[in-house]
Amino acid sequence: MMLKIKRVPTVVSNYQKEEGSEAPRTVGGCGRNCLKACCIQDAKLPLYAFKKISKVGGKDLVVEKCQEELPLAFLDSLVLGEWEDRVQRGLFRYDVTSCETKVIPGEYGFIAQLNEGRHLKKRPTEFRVDKVLQPFDENKFNFTKVGQEEVLFQFEASEDGEVQFHPNAPVDVENSPSFVAINVSPIEYGHVLLIPRIFECLPQRIDHESLLLALHMAAEAANPYFRLGYNSLGAFATINHLHFQAYYLAMPFPIEKAPTKKIATLNGGVKMSELLNYPVRGLVFEGGDTLEDLSKVVSDACISLQNNNIPHNVLISDCGTQVFLLPQCYAEKQALGEVNAELLDTQVNPAAWEISGHMVLKRKKDFDEASEANAWRLLAEVSLSEERFQEVKALIFEAIALTKESDDSPQYLPKDDVVDSVDPSTYPAVVAGSQECVVLQ
Ligand SMILES: [Zn+2]
């Protein structure tokens, strides 16, 4: 039996509506100035080509950049400048700067935002939540259907190793460009979408190359308040077309301040830790000699979750040098009727931002009554149980260790400060979807 729950969707593009509900505009091509063959041939869009950070001392370079108290980095001003331009052009569904935001009093500093505009009442859709990997469906909304005016720029690695910017670059569809576009239902200032290799129509699933692109974007923005997030299917992604989200929030997220316990040092010096004293159990990956090292470890971890049908969220912070990985089971519990009615009534979708401590609330009542205890209660429902988390952690270890063998790179060596090292061989093989989080009916 296919498991579905009624969702109140969020519109991320002005073209994400019932087909035919939009009156065609009087421009060339199909009339919508879209990204498909009808309109894209002669399109010109800005192109930002980032410098690939060199292998040696790459990490230092990124960290240095992040900490410099210089005027806005170029990518930063490009994102915000283009975003503001789209505000002026009236492309957003509401003015996010008028949404009330407050820090919830308490030890953790959860942030609450009242965002009534994001709530779309008209079109509840059915969305399958029990499969993390689902094939791309051309007939459903995807980002090739957005208008060119929603695209801010193309984003790619520079060929000659220097940062380049072209305000009017042709769109080389054959060459798999990645786009940065606005989210027309922003939850904060500068809320954008990074859509890797948009014309390849990839389903929502992490691969090494795409995660690396996201890390590069965080590094290029060079602003610790600019984070990227990723939601898998089953963990509140609403569109099955590979994308990351990103926005600015000028305060630390509670998850970034949570204490951690180091578990291991992995290939390339990537440090792996476990979150402590946080309502959602999760892993933290940090540092490494290069962004590639970090991206490889994290993407291997995500791929193992995908292959084992475990919904998850990812937060990329600290200019791309820190990545949080949070397996979750809220949607499954919701579908099984195991979430209490009070939490359900809030209609809060605990995705990457909420799990990180930025609670986007839809009802004034919930905003007024926001408390640390309420935030904690919601997030605790999102978390895997300790037992399940340990199993998932073992799966991830196994995946990372396996890649290493096939890589012919230095073997995995837990350091002596490992508090809680895991030998995957001591764990029984975890059958995909056999635990409380997965619905088999
Ligand atoms: Zn068109």
Domain assignment present for residue 219? The answer is yes
Cα 246 to the center of its chain, rounded Å: 7
Helix 208-221 vs helix 291-307: crossing angle, to nearest 10? 140
Domain assignment present for residue 5? The answer is no
Domain assignment present for residue 183? The answer is yes
CB atoms within 10 A of CB 293: 20
Q: With the CA atoms of 65, 69, 70 and 74 taken in that order, what torsion angle do they form, in degrees rounded to the nearest 10?
A: 50
pLDDT at site 120? 61
Residue 79: helix, strand or coil by DSSP? helix
pLDDT at site 119? 66
Average pLDDT, stretch 335-363?
A: 92
Average pLDDT, stretch 354-363?
A: 94
User: How far is ligand 1, taken at its centre, from the CA of residue 192, in Å?
Assistant: 22
User: Which domain does 104 fall in, by range?
Assistant: 43-426
pLDDT at site 30? 84
User: How far is ligand 1, taken at its centre, from the CA of residue 156, in Å?
Assistant: 24
- Share the mean pLDDT of the chain: 82
The more confidently predicted of residues 7 and 190 is 190
CB atoms within 10 A of CB 288: 23
pLDDT at site 187? 86
pLDDT digits (tens, 9 = 90+) for 208-264: 999 999 999 999 998 999 999 999 999 999 899 999 999 999 999 999 999 999 999
User: Which of the residues 191, 216, 243, 312 is marked catalytic?
Assistant: 243
pLDDT at site 123? 46
Reported as a pLDDT band with limits 50, 70 and 90, residue 427 is: very low
Helices (H), 13-52: 37-40
pLDDT digits (tens, 9 = 90+) for 3-48: 444 444 567 777 775 444 444 444 567 888 889 988 998 899 999 9
pLDDT at site 28? 65
Reported as a pLDDT band with limits 50, 70 and 90, residue 112 is: very high
Average pLDDT, stretch 190-200?
A: 95
pLDDT at site 434? 34
Domain assignment present for residue 15? The answer is no
Domain assignment present for residue 184? The answer is yes
Average pLDDT, stretch 345-370?
A: 93
User: How far is ligand 1, taken at its centre, from the CA of residue 245, in Å?
Assistant: 25
- What's the CA gap between 189 and 82, in Å, rounded? 12
Return the minimum-mean-pLDDT range out of 7-21, 199-213, 326-340. 7-21
Reported as a pLDDT band with limits 50, 70 and 90, residue 141 is: confident
191 catalytic residue (yes or no): no
Q: What is the DSSP letter of 430?
A: P
pLDDT at site 63? 44
User: How far is ligand 1, taken at its centre, from the CA of residue 292, in Å?
Assistant: 36
Residue type, 373: A
CATH of the domain at 324: 3.30.428.70
The more confidently predicted of residues 190 and 210 is 210
pLDDT at site 186? 87
pLDDT at site 230? 98
User: How far is ligand 1, taken at its centre, from the CA of residue 24, in Å?
Assistant: 10
Of the candidates 237, 225, 246, 250, the one whose C-alpha atom is nearest the C-alpha of residue 182 is: 246
Average pLDDT, stretch 132-155?
A: 92
pLDDT at site 10? 66
The tally of domains found in the chain comes to 1
What DSSP string describes 342-358?
A: HHHHTT----HHHHHTE
Of all residues in the chain, what percent carry a pLDDT higher than 90?
Answer: 58
Reported as a pLDDT band with limits 50, 70 and 90, residue 74 is: confident
User: How far is ligand 1, taken at its centre, from the CA of residue 270, in Å?
Assistant: 44
Task: List residues bridging with 114 in a β-sheet.
Answer: 361
Helix 386-407 vs helix 291-307: crossing angle, to nearest 10? 120
pLDDT at site 1? 41
Residue 118 pLDDT > 80, yes or no?
no
Average pLDDT, stretch 57-69?
A: 45
Residue 67 pLDDT > 60, yes or no?
no
CB atoms within 10 A of CB 138: 10
Domain assignment present for residue 18? The answer is no
User: How far is ligand 1, taken at its centre, from the CA of residue 39, in Å?
Assistant: 4
Residue 369 pLDDT > 70, yes or no?
yes
Domain assignment present for residue 139? The answer is yes
Distance (Å) of CA 6 to CA 97, 116, 249, 335 = 29, 19, 30, 9
Residue 122 pLDDT > 50, yes or no?
no
Domain assignment present for residue 72? The answer is yes
Average pLDDT, stretch 72-98?
A: 86
List Cβ neighbours of 189 (8 Å cut-off, separation of 6 or more): 80, 83, 96, 97, 247, 248, 249
